[in-house]
Amino acid sequence: MAYLDRQRDSFASSLASAASKINVKRSQTSAPSPLPSLGGGGAPASPSPSVASTTSATAASTPVKKKNGGPTNGLPAGAAIYSQPENTGVGTAIGTNIVYALDYLKQQGGKAVNLSTVLGHLNLNRESEAVQKQIVERMRHHPRIMWRPDNATSDSSADDQWKTGTYEHKPIIPNVKDKTALLQYLQRRTDAQGVNVKDLKDGWPDCETALTALEREHKVLVVRTKKDNHPRMVWQDDPTLCFTVEPEFQSLWHRATIPSVEDIVGKLTAAGQKPTSEDPRLRAMNQPKEKKAKKRAQRRTGKSTNTHMEHLLKDYSHLKR
């Protein structure tokens, strides 16, 4: 019994020491007690805010962000947030404006347009004079834009001369906008190269209908794409070289059987004629080449450099009994 008593006392002491440690930790982590009022009868100090109240206060002070941009605090409802300039459809670079100007002149169908109309289409009427002069300089030196100066003497000063004149589109193939002009252009060509339909459409956008009609009349040869059957290249054709083969001859031609190469060689040999397949040059070319065995290269011994040890490396095996 004495042993059991000692065990019970040991367990009780360890339990008491553990309980004292737990109480100390709780007292250290507990909230501080409110300070007493200085006046004696005033209200006690407010307790420390809880975790939930701190979180709600932080969320209220942090601005809420939208998915598409910045904070909405302090902005009226429905206010637009300008992060990037709006797309006006016309670029701000000079090269981009020249491309738009060329497309606009191409849409006019060869009609001359003055400078103010072109600048109005590009939304450059309110730009500085330096920017407008750069546009004019690029347009006058562009290979696809034709500038025509005014015929009459202008009353404007020398500083305003850059505003004068008209502009129009200069196609790659000029003055070809109908069937007759196309045939004349093909007849004037001195080379056998075809005309690219893409270049032809630059000054004649709706030329495909005319090309199809001229092709049926055997006046032009048209190469078309396999996927969409669109015309790609055009050559001149001669309708007098087009002949109609009678249907009876066509049926005879399709009924005829072409013999094989072996039958043709046998018939030529039987008739005492030498077929082209018996050409010795072709036979030599068709013969398989013999594979030559590669000779094994002999291993060359290098120059002996250990001459001072020759007496040690000398073979004395013949002296064995």
Specify whether the CB–CB gap between 180 and 214 falls below 8 A: no
Alpha carbons 200 and 207: distance in angstroms, whole number: 8
Residue-range domains of the chain with CATH: 94-151+160-169 (1.10.10), 172-274 (1.10.10)
Q: Which of 64-73, 76-85, 228-237, 268-277 reaches the highest mean pLDDT?
A: 228-237
* pLDDT band of 40, cuts 50, 70, 90: very low
Amino acid (one-letter) located at 304: S
Residue 189: partners with Cβ closer than 8 Å, 6 or more residues away: 195, 236
Across 48-57, average pLDDT: 45
Burial 157-167 (b: 16+ CB within 10 A, else e): eeeeebbebbb
Q: Is the pLDDT of residue 51 over 90?
A: no
Across 279-295, average pLDDT: 73
Q: Is the pLDDT of residue 73 over 70?
A: no
3-class state of residue 211 by DSSP: helix
Greater model confidence, 83 or 284? 284
Q: Is the pLDDT of residue 233 over 80?
A: yes
pLDDT digits (tens, 9 = 90+) for 140-161: 999 999 998 887 655 556 677 8
Query: CA separation (Å) from 176 to 99, 144, 148, 195, 312?
Result: 23, 16, 20, 12, 101
How do 195-196 and 231-236 pair as beta strands?
antiparallel
230 φ/ψ sector (left φ>0, alpha ψ -120 to 50, else beta): beta
Residue 89, pLDDT score:
44
* pLDDT above 90 as % of the chain: 32
Q: What is the pTM of this model?
A: 0.47
